Structures are given as C-alpha cells and as structure tokens.
Structure 1
Amino acid sequence: MQLDIAAALAARFAGVALAAGVLAAVPARAQEPPPFQVAQAATATAPEPSAEQMKLANDLLVANGEASSFDAVIPNVVEQTAASFVQANPDLIRDLREVAKQLSTEYESRRSEIVEILAKIYATEFTTQELKDLLAFYRSEAGKKLVAKREDLLKAGFSSIQAWSALFAREMEGRVREEMKKRGFTI
C-alpha cells in the first residue's frame, strides 16, 4: 500500500513534489527560514527579471505542467494544520474537517504565489531566449507528448527502479555474506 501511495505521489508531482513537501513541512521545521524567504534568497543576487521574462516563465510553467503540480499544496497544508489539532481535540474532528474545507477554498487564490515563486526562479535562471526556446519545446508535439506521458513515465520508472533495487539488495546481501564469510563469520 505504501509503495502504491509513493508511486502515485511521484507520478502526480513529476519531480516537483519535493518543493511541495518542503512547503508542507515548514511548521515542523521552524528553525529553518520559510520557503518563500529561501526562494527570495536564492534569487536575491540575480538581477530582477524583466516583465517579458516573468511572462515567459509563467507561460512555461503552464506549458510544462509544473504550475498545476502544486494544486494540492494549499489544501494539504490546511488539512495537515487542522489535523494537528485532532489529537488534542478528538471530539472536534468533524468541525476541524469542515473548517479545513472552508479555509482551503478561501486560500486557493494564494496558489498563484507558489507559481510566482517558481516563475521568478525560472526567469532568473534562464535568459529570455532560453525561456522562449523552452516554451517552444513544450508547445511542440514532442513537448506536449512529454507532458501528457509524464505521469506514466514516472510510474513506469518508479516501478522499474523498485524492481532493480530489490535485485540489487539481494545481490548486496549475497556479497555482504560472502565478505563476512571471508572474515570467519556466517550470517
């Protein structure tokens, strides 16, 4: 069951789930700066991107599917926050769920802040021409196919890597046993 969940998450977030996880984990890691400050610090030394670069970066995030990869961040953070109150207040679970649903809807408009953070990073890291080239690729048939098949590719890759990993683990088990036997131990 856990492997199915991991495969679904890997496929759904297409490699950018890590950033979503960082956003979701912020309350548990209060000693670290909030992700928005991290993103600002990462781009602080770079010149401010032009309006054209920002538009191209936004268009690219839509075209390559990354903008929608963060659709679940706000509802997940709201649900996790509400759920954190359940242990101390188990009788309030129904009300906490209702509040989470209400707040998810209320805060959905803030998803654009996540896309803006990403767009600024892209606009800072890529020149205007590079952004145009990337956008052209993602708007091409090959780019559209990549976006459309990304989930299936990630699922297949995850599944194949799991199978390889299991074989590799067995191989390593044999090698460890062999090396330990050379040292006089049978395990």
Structure 2
Amino acid sequence: MQLDIAAPRVARRAPPLAAAAMGFALFVAGAPALAQDTAPFQLAQAATAPAAKPPQPSAEQMKLANELLVANGEASSFDAVIPNVVEQTAAGFVQSNPDLIRDLREVAKQLSAQYESRRTEIVQILATIYATEFTTQELRELLAFYRSEAGKKLVTKREELLKVGFSSIQAWSAQFAREMEVRVREEMKKRGFTI
C-alpha cells in the first residue's frame, strides 16, 4: 500500500453491485429535487406515516445469501474497500502535514491490517439485502446456478466479458458518433446551414 498524493488515484473497476450502489446513491442525492414536486398535503402525510419496516430475513435466508455472495464472487469484490478508506483518510492528513508522509504510510498499513476483519460487515450488509429481496427458494436456485459449470464460468469470465464488452461498445459509439455527425450536417444543409 502506498500513499501517493502527487499521482491521481486510478479508479478500480467497480463490481456490478458496487455500480448499482453508486447509481442508487446518485438517485437518493437527487431525491430532494423530486420531493419539491410533491404536493404539500402528500409531504405532510408522508411525514406522519410510520415507516414500513421490511421483514427480517430468516437465518436460512442469511446463510444462503452468504453462500451466494461467495459463489457469485461478490463477497471478494469489496476486498479493497477497507485498505482504500484507510489510505485515503491518511492521505488527507498528508496535504496539511507533508512532512509526516512516511509515518502516515506506516499508520495506514498498520490500521489496514488491524481493521481487515471488518470486511465481513460489508458482506453481511450485502447478504441482508439479498436475503430480504429473494425468497429461500430463489436463493437456492441462484446458488445452484452459480455452483453449476455455467455459473462458475460466468464468475470466472465476468471481468473479461465486461472489459471486452466495454471496449466493443466504445468502438461502436465512436462509429455511431461519426455517422451522426454526417447526418446532422446533412439535415442542417437541408435547412440552409453549412456546418
């Protein structure tokens, strides 16, 4: 682990669930703007209504959800969260105390190792989400799929498939943009404009 404030951090590819979580966070951030369109009566009614508490998943659902997260690879996709948070926190102190960079690196390394066991908390958050969203039978079916040869192949190939897919979509997008440039010019020419 290195604290390097001079070089920009290279973003790691977010796993599918992390990407979904980021999308959800962006949605929630925009919620106040959406709420402004709601009628005052509805806002007052929503404020006084008790929040519906989702049913707690059973112990079997939690067990199956944990097994599923291991089988589908998502349990290990958050391995870097704790070291990254510790490193970023320590790097924040480097900006105001540049002479302490060496000591801050050592502290970050020590704390990363010390708090590594808390990674299970992240897995439990995910397991609770899965266990709440899927029935026991659905979890069994998903687990059966990810333990099958096709499921194992999907987990093994997922990163490669996403990389090839992203690259192919970028190439397609560039070609499509060139086509649109020609079409926009043609349409604007029909209106008497040369661009």
The aligned runs of 1:169-180 (5 Å cut-off) are 169-180=177-188
**Relative contact order (C-alpha < 8 Å, sep 6+): which is higher?**
1
Q: Is the 8 A contact 1:14 1:154 kept in 2?
A: no
Q: What corresponds to 2:165 in structure 1?
A: 157
- Where structure 1 has 5 or more consecutive residues not aligned to the other structure, the ranges are 33-43
CA distance in 2, matches of 1:184, 1:101: 65
Gaps of 5+ in 2: 1-9, 33-51
After superposition, the CA RMSD in angstroms is 2.3
2:191 pairs with 177, 180, 183, which one? 183
Q: Which has the higher helix share?
A: 1
Aligned residues: 161
Say which one has the larger Rg: 2
Q: Aligned partners of 2:119, 2:76: CA distance in 1, in Å?
A: 9
Deviation per CA, 1:8-29: give whole Å up to 9, x if none.
x33xx4313326768xx9xxx9
Partner of 1:59: 67
Q: How does 1:7-156 map to 2 (within 5 A)?
A: 9-10=12-13, 13-18=14-19, 45-156=53-164
TM-score, L = length of structure 2: 0.74
Letter paired with 1:15 = P
Give the TM-score taking structure 1 as reference length.
Answer: 0.77
The aligned residue for residue 41 of structure 1 is none
Q: Which residue of 1 aligns with 2:48?
A: none
Shift in CA distance, 177/84, structure 1 to aligned 2, threshold 3 Å? farther
Q: Secondary structure at the match of 1:92?
A: helix
Q: State the shift of 1:102 in Å.
A: 1.3
Aligned partners of 1:117, 1:71: CA distance in 2, in Å? 14
Letter in 2 for 1:140: S
- Percent of pairs with identical residues: 81
Provide, for residues 24-64 of structure 1, a one-character-per-residue CA deviation record: whole Å limited to 9, x for no partner. Answer: x9xxx9xx9xxxxxxxxxxx732100000000000000000
Describe the shift of the 1:95–1:173 C-alpha distance in structure 2 as closer, same or farther (beyond 3 A): farther
* Cα separation, 2, equivalents of 1:104 and 1:152: 29
Instruction: Quote the Cα distance in structure 2 between the aligned partners of 1:98 and 1:160.
Output: 42
